[in-house]
């Protein structure tokens, strides 16, 4: 059996058991034991949270007029809390890596990875680790504010990554960024709900044949006290309807509830329907 392939007659561990097969139309998927041996060298891409904060403090007052203070607040929070990674970092790396291994077998050339709404360097670090050793990759990082783009540019220089940055507003997605993989982490929270369909439909248009969208989102009630969060989803069902209306299909789905806390997050791989 080739790397990244799946069969029902080989013992394995359950990868997905979300309890929503009736909504998504997908059954359980299995991760086989012999796939635990990693044929590619895995490289970590550490972030410099102190340097990120210094640069954010320098740039955010003039370059983040539209984010309500989010990027500076995030840089301070990550450094002070010691929480360097997204809560679903390991799961995102694993899913993207399995997809990248399968993708590399087709010999399509360098992977084009687009990060939509970077916030800081965390998503770029996740993407770089996921495809490290699999093959060459080029990254495009999009954000409405200049501050996170500057952070990603410094990160790219530090780690020798081929990264292009672009100021871009997903509330009016009139550009095109051809992508093998698109990473979307909590993006919709920062956009008014009436533009969500246009935003997701644009991401679908950007996908190259065989491409995927790694979509992570936290389910929670709206909090008017936070100026940068424009909308929230409290349950999975309206997100599934949004995917369907945008012409996207769920290829895999994982739900996680934070230990000891109320945060409920979904991580899904999407493909064109």
C-alpha angle 201-21-36 in degrees, rounded to nearest 5: 90
Please choose, from the candidates 238, 229, 221, the residue with its C-alpha nearest in 3D space to the C-alpha of residue 188: 229
**What is the CATH number that goes with domain 45-272?**
3.40.50.150
Strands (E), the chain: 12-14, 30-32, 111-116, 137-143, 163-167, 179-185, 207-219, 248-257, 264-272
The H or E element containing residue 99 is helix 89-104
Reported as a single tens digit per residue, the pLDDT across 124-142 is: 999 999 998 888 999 999 9
Reported as a single tens digit per residue, the pLDDT across 8-31 is: 333 333 333 344 444 444 433 333
Please choose, from the candidates 169, 168, 155, 164, the residue with its C-alpha nearest in 3D space to the C-alpha of residue 126: 155
Domain layout of the chain by residue ranges: 45-272
Please choose, from the candidates 124, 151, 148, 119, the residue with its C-alpha nearest in 3D space to the C-alpha of residue 138: 124
pTM of the predicted protein model: 0.84
Are 250 and 270 spatial neighbours (Cβ–Cβ below 8 Å)?
A: yes
Are 15 and 33 spatial neighbours (Cβ–Cβ below 8 Å)?
A: no
């Amino acid at each position: 059996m080739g790397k990244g392939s799946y069969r029902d007659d080989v013992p394995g561990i359950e990868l997905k058991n979300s309890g929503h097969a009736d909504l998504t139309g997908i059954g359980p998927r299995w991760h086989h034991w012999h796939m635990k041996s990693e044929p590619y060298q895995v490289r970590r891409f550490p972030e410099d949270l102190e340097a990120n904060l210094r640069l954010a403090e320098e740039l955010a007052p003039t370059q983040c007029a539209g984010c309500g203070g989010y990027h500076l607040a995030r840089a301070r929070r990550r450094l002070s809390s010691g929480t360097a990674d997204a809560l679903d970092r390991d799961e995102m790396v694993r899913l993207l890596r399995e997809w990248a291994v399968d993708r590399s077998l087709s010999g399509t050339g360098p992977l084009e990875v687009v990060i939509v709404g970077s916030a800081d360097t965390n998503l770029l670090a996740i993407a770089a680790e996921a495809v490290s050793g699999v093959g060459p990759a080029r990254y495009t990082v999009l954000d409405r504010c200049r501050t996170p783009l500057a952070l990603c540019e410094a990160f790219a220089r530090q780690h020798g990554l081929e990264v292009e940055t672009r100021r871009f507003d997903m509330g009016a997605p009139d550009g095109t960024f051809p992508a093998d993989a698109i990473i979307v982490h909590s993006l919709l929270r920062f956009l008014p709900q009436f533009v969500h369909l246009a935003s997701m439909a644009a991401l679908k248009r950007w996908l190259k044949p065989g491409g995927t969208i790694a979509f992570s989102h936290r389910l929670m009630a709206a909090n008017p006290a936070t100026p940068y969060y424009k909308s929230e989803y409290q349950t999975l069902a309206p997100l599934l309807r949004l995917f369907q209306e945008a012409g996207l299909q769920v290829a895999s789905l994982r739900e996680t509830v934070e230990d000891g806390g109320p945060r409920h997050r979904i991580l899904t791989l999407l493909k064109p329907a």
